Structure 1
Amino acid sequence: MKQIVLSIAVLSVFAGSAQAQSSVTLYGALDAGVNYVNNAQTSNTAAGRTGGHQFVMMDGGTGGALGSRWGLTGTEKLGQGFSAIFTIENGFLINNGSLAQGGAQFGRQAFVGLSSPVGTLTMGRQYDPVQDMYSPFLAGAWGGYMAAHPGDLDNALKTRRTNNSIKFQSANYRGLTVDALMNLGGTPGSFSNNWIWGVGGSYTGGIFSLGAGYLNIRNPNTSFFGSNPNAGPATSNNLGSFGSATSPENNPVYAGYASANRLEIAAVAAGVKFSGMNINLAYSNTRFEGLGSSSGPNTLNYVGTASFNNLEINASYFLTPSLETGLAYDYTRNAGAGGRGGANYNLFSAGLHYFVSKRTDLYTLAMFETASGTDSEGQKAVAQITGMTASTNNRQVAVRVGIRHLF
């Protein structure tokens, strides 16, 4: 009997030791709510755009604070400060249960790698350095997807992920973190075709913080905008659509630039935090270069470069430990392409979150956008709050009431 008891005790020690060396965590978020849009298109024809107001239940990933998801993340300690790590994260639409990210099983993230005292090296479907280092400074932190820059043109609100990528992110050294990513295009005989690479960095010292990122994307219509399972080949437009007699326009802000040979995104932001207040200033430049290439359709025969400049200022403040409010203003200028067109977009965002617990909050969001000029589709620019259906005119209002729960 003593031997049996001793054996059980020894096995228990080893089992506890093994358990301490590795872990797997299930996590996720659920975000549901009702959105009101004052003007949403139903069709776009030569005779004009038609539409009306809309009430719709939406997942947080398209019109709320946070996209619904579940994921598994794991760590296995290997010794000497090294660990094997992985994350697989599924996105879905809580209003109907369907898969998000174009039907990908683990469309939000899917990677495996090694962490060490100097940083982490991972491979798979991942976020890029602009998202890692620039996004935390934007109004999307409290305003969600609707607070994104028009069409999420700089991808700062994580609309698209990078497939087949190798990424290194350094450990935090005295407030400084650096980030680098590369996607191998995989095209036989052409290293640069579908190639994506980027770098970024952030620094935090006291109440001040800085973040910056750069992303260079070849053949963006297929390599970047076409990174989801439901995307089409180079002959289709993965950036958006011109609409028809039976469907509204989709992302007219830059849908006309699908033929770009290269997409460059450069972004920088700064922030300050004190006494429950968070104030940020952010700037990004997005360039669709080499228009007219075989990367995608070119209905309007564009050539040259289409450049967007974006400037955002936002602030959030905890009125009480459980009540957070946020305000933001964003200005976007499309300089046009090859001397043709050009549009301006103004977005005003406001949000209020009431945290009934550490994991659950009730919230409301309100957005107002105006547009002017000629958009990428060569038409009079219309407002389209990100995630909503485009308006029939140059103004759009969207309001949401929702609930979010983290687990």
Structure 2
Amino acid sequence: MKPERNKHARWLCMAALCAASTAASAQTSVTLYGVLDEGLNYTSNVGGHSQVAMASGFPHGSRWGLKGNEDLGGGTTAVFQLENGFDVDNGRAFQGGALFGRQAYMGLSDQRWGSITLGRQYDSVVDYLAQTSAGGSWGGYMFAHPYDNDNLINTFRVNNTVKYTSPALGGLKFGGMYGFSDDTKFSNNRVFSAGGQYAQGGLVLAAAYLQADNPSATSYGAINNGGDQNLPGSKLKIWGAGGTYALGKATVGLSYARTEVADPRSSAYVGDITPPSGTLSGLRFQNFEANIKYQAAPSYWFGAMYAYTRATFDATSGKKHPVYHSVGLMADYIFSKRTDVYAQAMYQHVGGDKTGSVLDAAYVAGSANVASGSNQMMLRLGLRHFF
């Protein structure tokens, strides 16, 4: 009987080890994920010439990442996420060459109280407001408002942040973040933002605010001057509101965003924006957008957007008001849960007052350079794969 008892004991021990292993795997998980987005672009006017080019990461930035969690008990979980952005064309890293330039954070999440995370993260404008715009939801890069002045397509992330995100409370979710300057002058290159979103049935309403003090002034502050900037100046303010409503196969969105830049110097997209004579003390944008996405069938959908942007160019020569009209179209065909092919078109026309600066020329986000005049069109055919 002794050998039989030993056999049962070994079997019970193995079963216990398997059960413990299964429980551990259920309590802790790490996921490898990513997106590959590659395609061909045609641009009608790049300094007076048409261009055909291969380009990566338009509706979705190409990326790979790791995210995980560990159950700490009592409804509390340790979480982390590391995400690298890269160019499929040549393999180089985006976001200024940072290893995890898209996101890099860790923290704690609680079912009752929400989450607190620390590291390099998205601001509240991206977290809550961006989803009401075409660029921040289904359209991506090409559908940005001029120079991505409102950061709805993530031109910059924020370093050194502490972020709070609430749990869902009857359809309401809110949060905020603070990005430290890490400088002896506490306010030199810091960022703070807050926002919220309410979802009920097919309705989503959102609002957000962001302020950056002396952004990109240092290489180690909240906004890195090496790979994170949209409109550097002494102060950046962004606020806005928007909403979407799903009705049958269609989802309609409306959004408004206002951006103010004090003492602006340049744009990450078009370089120096100052006039040839005099100084530029302020730059403001008001972005009004309407968009629609129509899910014609499970395997394909169509989208369209129109944005009207009115700028205020405040120079020593006086105030000027250039205006930007942006029209975008997109069609997507889904081969499988992981792979799809899409086509995009974007047209921009610049009118209103002339500023004497590069802002008078049309520029679709993602094109190689500004147009030689007030019109530019970009067409794209792309392939995406999720893993």
Contact conserved, 1:334 with 1:344, CA < 8 A, in 2?
yes
Q: Find the counterpart in structure 1 of residue 180 from structure 2.
A: 184
Greater RCO, CA 8 A, separation 6+: 1
Alpha-carbon deviation of 1:99? 0.6
User: What CA distance in whole angstroms lies between the structure 1 residues aligned with 2:109 and 2:235?
Assistant: 32
User: What CA distance in whole angstroms lies between the structure 2 residues aligned with 1:380 and 1:195?
Assistant: 27
Alpha-carbon deviation of 1:166? 0.5
Contact conserved, 2:273 with 2:357, CA < 8 A, in 1?
no
Alpha-carbon deviation of 1:392? 1.0
User: What CA distance in whole angstroms lies between the structure 1 residues aligned with 2:186 and 2:364?
Assistant: 37
Letter in 1 for 2:217: T
User: What CA distance in whole angstroms lies between the structure 2 residues aligned with 1:272 and 1:323?
Assistant: 20
Alpha-carbon deviation of 1:179? 1.1
TM-score (norm 1): 0.85
State the superposition RMSD in angstroms.
2.3
Contact conserved, 1:28 with 1:68, CA < 8 A, in 2?
yes
Q: Percent identity?
A: 37
TM-score (norm 2): 0.90
Give 2:129's match in structure 1, choosing from 120, 129, 134. Answer: 134
Q: Find the counterpart in structure 2 of residue 30 from structure 1.
A: 36
Contact conserved, 2:347 with 2:376, CA < 8 A, in 1?
yes
Q: Find the counterpart in structure 1 of residue 3 from structure 2.
A: none
User: What CA distance in whole angstroms lies between the structure 2 residues aligned with 1:229 and 1:4?
Assistant: 62
1:366 maps onto 2:360 in alignment: no
Structure 1, gaps ≥5 residues long: 42-50, 233-237, 240-253
Give 2:239's match in structure 1, choosing from 262, 266, 269. Answer: 266
Where in structure 2 are the equivalents of 1:311-330 lying within 5 Å? Answer: 311-330=288-307
Q: Find the counterpart in structure 2 of residue 248 from structure 1.
A: none
- Alpha-carbon distance change, 213 to 377 in structure 1, aligned in 2, over 3 angstroms: farther
Contact conserved, 1:85 with 1:114, CA < 8 A, in 2?
yes
Where in structure 2 are the equivalents of 1:4-19 lying within 5 Å? Answer: 4-19=10-25
1:196 maps onto 2:196 in alignment: no
Contact conserved, 2:160 with 2:222, CA < 8 A, in 1?
no
1:57 maps onto 2:54 in alignment: yes
Where in structure 2 are the equivalents of 1:354-393 lying within 5 Å? Answer: 354-373=333-352, 378-379=357-358, 381-388=360-367, 389-393=369-373
User: What CA distance in whole angstroms lies between the structure 2 residues aligned with 1:112 and 1:199?
Assistant: 19
Q: Find the counterpart in structure 1 of residue 4 from structure 2.
A: none
1:302 maps onto 2:268 in alignment: no
- Alpha-carbon distance change, 398 to 379 in structure 1, aligned in 2, over 3 angstroms: closer
Partner SS for 1:220: coil
Alpha-carbon deviation of 1:187? 1.2
Alpha-carbon deviation of 1:228? 4.7
Contact conserved, 2:42 with 2:379, CA < 8 A, in 1?
yes
User: What CA distance in whole angstroms lies between the structure 1 residues aligned with 2:55 and 2:76?
Assistant: 42
Write the deviation string for residues 82-123 of structure 1: whole angstroms up to 9, x where unpaired.
000000001101111111111010001000000002211000
User: What CA distance in whole angstroms lies between the structure 1 residues aligned with 2:110 and 2:217?
Assistant: 34
Tell me the matched-pair count.
368
- Alpha-carbon distance change, 175 to 384 in structure 1, aligned in 2, over 3 angstroms: same
Contact conserved, 1:348 with 1:369, CA < 8 A, in 2?
yes
User: What CA distance in whole angstroms lies between the structure 2 residues aligned with 1:299 and 1:332?
Assistant: 19
Partner SS for 1:98: coil
Q: Find the counterpart in structure 1 of residue 100 from structure 2.
A: 106
Letter in 2 for 1:307: R
- Alpha-carbon distance change, 387 to 334 in structure 1, aligned in 2, over 3 angstroms: same
User: What CA distance in whole angstroms lies between the structure 2 residues aligned with 1:173 and 1:81?
Assistant: 16
Alpha-carbon deviation of 1:405? 1.1
Write the deviation string for residues 240-272 of structure 1: whole angstroms up to 9, x where unpaired.
xxxxxxxxxxxxxx6xxx4x3210000110111
User: What CA distance in whole angstroms lies between the structure 1 residues aligned with 2:181 and 2:338?
Assistant: 40
Structure 2, gaps ≥5 residues long: 1-6, 266-271
Q: Find the counterpart in structure 1 of residue 161 from structure 2.
A: 165
Write the deviation string for residues 178-208 of structure 1: whole angstroms up to 9, x where unpaired.
01000111111x2211111010000011221
Q: Find the counterpart in structure 2 of residue 175 from structure 1.
A: 171
Alpha-carbon deviation of 1:304? 4.0
Letter in 2 for 1:267: G
Give 1:403's match in structure 2, choosing from 379, 383, 386. Answer: 383
Letter in 1 for 2:171: G
User: What CA distance in whole angstroms lies between the structure 2 residues aligned with 1:223 and 1:327?
Assistant: 39
1:149 maps onto 2:145 in alignment: yes
Partner SS for 1:3: helix
- Alpha-carbon distance change, 147 to 231 in structure 1, aligned in 2, over 3 angstroms: closer
Contact conserved, 1:277 with 1:318, CA < 8 A, in 2?
yes
Alpha-carbon deviation of 1:39? 0.8
